[in-house]
Structure 1
Amino acid sequence: MLVSLNVLAAQEPPLPDTFAEHKIVMQISDPNPFKQTLVLNVAGNLVKYYGSTNMDLEIVAFGPGVRLMLEGNVNTPRIKALMATGVRFSACENTLTNFAKILGKKPKLIEGIDIVPAGAARIIQLNEAGYKTLKP
């Protein structure tokens, strides 16, 4: 029975094998649309400043911040544009499970967003791999 439960759990994406000079993880855990927009603004500014080849950036959402990554979000075009530059987005499976309890079904994410078992743990893993955390 444990084996089948593990198969259903979100698989942790592997840590990026990157030679980027700047490794950054950004946290979004706030439901405030202003803060969510700020995270996207900062990400866009970092891409412009460092260039996508000199920087590896992952935006990790957990708690109410996951709303930023839900399908149909007003920021979907901006998220897709950042993805096109190589920015990665990860959403917390724990949060999605809690949303499902409230909504009666799991919400859909914007296509291309990874699901990680625990958003906070993902940030810790990336920190341990040399990433610096930004929380605008």
Structure 2
Amino acid sequence: MILNKVKIALFATTLLFSLGASASQSLLEGYSYDQLKLVHELPFAKHHAVLQVSQDDPALWNLTLNNASNMLQYFGQDKIQVVVVAYGPGLKMLLKDSPVAKRLQALDAQGVEFDACNVTLTGMAKQLGHTPELAPEAMLVPGGIVRIMQLEQHGYNYIKP
């Protein structure tokens, strides 16, 4: 069972990178559900939130980014760790040509992490015949739902705008 999961993960990783996937960071290699890794480590953060993006709707993307921005303003940039997880149709938010690309860049600079679902990206690559380019702020994670579960297990509050 575990060997099959490893084979699937290696196949997906090979497929993505052979088709040209590019994320500035990736959790695919050496991933462990029990060991939380983050792009922006905020050791003094007292609050933790994970926001779900699963719809292809720029209005909802902006609402999600507003939520992230509002939390940063309320608690303070160094007092809250915010992770936005995009999967399914919502992954389009984290593509390089996304209409919210400038907002992703600004929030990333303030410590917000943007996680992109590898399962969805692999499916998109098969459908399109090539892998869409991710925004440089996106971190590739094995699966969006699994990442949300992992973050919740580590004390993150789940928010679906």
Superposition TM-score, scaled by structure 1 size:
0.91
Whole-Å separation in 2 of the counterparts to 1:60 and 1:4: 24
Which residue does the alignment assign to 2:95? 70
Aligned: 1:15 with 2:37: yes
- Contact kept, 8 Å, 1:15 with 1:126, in 2: the verdict is no
Q: Which amino acid aligns with 1:34?
A: A
Aligned: 1:109 with 2:134: yes
Percent identity over the alignment?
A: 37
- Contact kept, 8 Å, 2:104 with 2:137, in 1: the verdict is no
Label 1:4 to 1:133 Cα distance change in 2 as closer, same or farther (>3 A).
Answer: closer
Runs of 5+ unmatched residues, structure 1 = none
Whole-Å separation in 2 of the counterparts to 1:45 and 1:91: 22
Whole-Å separation in 1 of the counterparts to 2:9 and 2:160: 31
Label 1:64 to 1:6 Cα distance change in 2 as closer, same or farther (>3 A).
Answer: closer
Q: Structure 1 residue 7: deviation in Å?
A: 4.6
1:84 is aligned, of 109, 112, 119, to 109
Superposition TM-score, scaled by structure 2 size:
0.77
Structure 1 segments (4+ residues) deviating >2 Å: 1-19
1:99 is aligned, of 109, 118, 124, to 124
Secondary structure (helix, strand or coil) at the match of 2:97 reads coil
The alignment covers a number of residue pairs equal to 136
Aligned: 1:59 with 2:84: yes
Q: Which amino acid aligns with 2:105?
A: K
